């Protein structure tokens, strides 16, 4: 009987990080309502860190569970679906009326569909190498870093409303598309690494610390664009010798 109760219990550590992820999303929503968009953006990014850590810790300590997977998805929908949608609407899209809030709703619903599809295909071998569609944390981080970049450069967002509208629609499409994105699940925080890798990580960290929002904006933009570029390259820019290989 005690063994059965133990199996039905939940693991504290990974689910605590997931709970902190939900807290960050909730705080981001409150901050957006109060027009504190910089705070909301930082909360979303911190939520992304907690989202990364809960999965890494669960796999490293062998404490993965079906409860944890479902709880993580619900947390992601709050932090990376609802929070960035509301933030973008209140930050810049509200003057556009129905067109603006529809873009926010589409972002949130496409994120929910992306999470549902990920959960149903989580056991497939391919999912460990690539993501099908843009991961919702990356899409949310793109919106958050954009807000932070404009704040850092002291640029008013109103003249660029159409650009942000197109950005939300594009991110929504990328999330539910079949475009492949590189997965970094195999990168472990608890394994030995070469000294050169450590030096490289320190240099990257120093660059990020020097101009965090500009560097992160460039990095996430490159990741978002990498999927469509890879898709078009592999499907429409096939070299002659590659065509011969496919025929064989």
pTM of the model: 0.84
C-alpha pair distances (Å), 133 with each of 10, 130, 178, 183, 209: 30, 9, 5, 11, 29
Lowest mean pLDDT among 19-33, 54-68, 153-167, 218-232: 54-68
Please check whether the domain covering 2-247 is classified as CATH 3.40.50.720.
Answer: no
Residue 209 in this model has a pLDDT that exceeds 80: no
Each residue's pLDDT tens digit, 135-188? 999 999 999 999 999 999 999 999 999 999 999 999 999 999 999 998 766 555
User: Residue 8: pLDDT band by 50, 70, 90 thresholds?
Assistant: low
Extended strands (E) in the chain: 130-132, 180-182
Q: Structure tokens of 116?
A: 């549902």
**What pLDDT score was predicted for residue 2?**
43
**What pLDDT score was predicted for residue 239?**
47
Lowest mean pLDDT among 59-68, 78-87, 137-146, 220-229: 59-68
């Amino acid at each position: 009987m005690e063994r059965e109760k133990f199996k039905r219990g939940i693991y504290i550590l990974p689910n605590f990080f997931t709970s902190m992820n939900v807290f960050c999303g909730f705080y981001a929503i409150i901050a957006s309502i109060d027009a504190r968009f910089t705070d909301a953006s930082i909360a979303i990014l911190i939520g992304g860190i907690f989202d990364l850590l809960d999965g890494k810790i669960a796999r490293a300590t062998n404490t993965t569970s079906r409860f944890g997977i479902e709880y993580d998805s619900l947390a992601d929908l709050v932090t990376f679906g609802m929070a960035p949608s509301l933030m973008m609407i209140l930050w810049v899209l509200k003057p556009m009326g129905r067109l603006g809030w529809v873009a926010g709703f589409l972002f949130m619903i496409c994120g929910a569909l992306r999470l549902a599809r990920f959960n149903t295909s989580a056991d497939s071998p391919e999912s460990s190498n690539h993501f099908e569609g843009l991961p919702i944390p990356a899409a949310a981080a793109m919106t958050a870093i954009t807000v932070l970049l404009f704040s850092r450069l002291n640029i008013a967002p109103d003249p660029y409303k159409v650009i942000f509208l197109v950005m939300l629609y594009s991110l929504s499409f990328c999330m539910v598309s079949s475009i492949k994105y590189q997965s970094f699940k195999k990168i472990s925080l608890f394994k030995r690494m070469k000294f050169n890798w450590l030096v490289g990580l320190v240099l990257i960290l120093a660059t990020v610390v020097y101009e965090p929002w500009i560097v992160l904006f460039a990095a996430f933009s490159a990741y978002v664009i990498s999927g469509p570029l890879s898709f078009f390259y592999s499907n429409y820019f096939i070299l002659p010798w590659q065509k011969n290989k496919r025929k064989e």
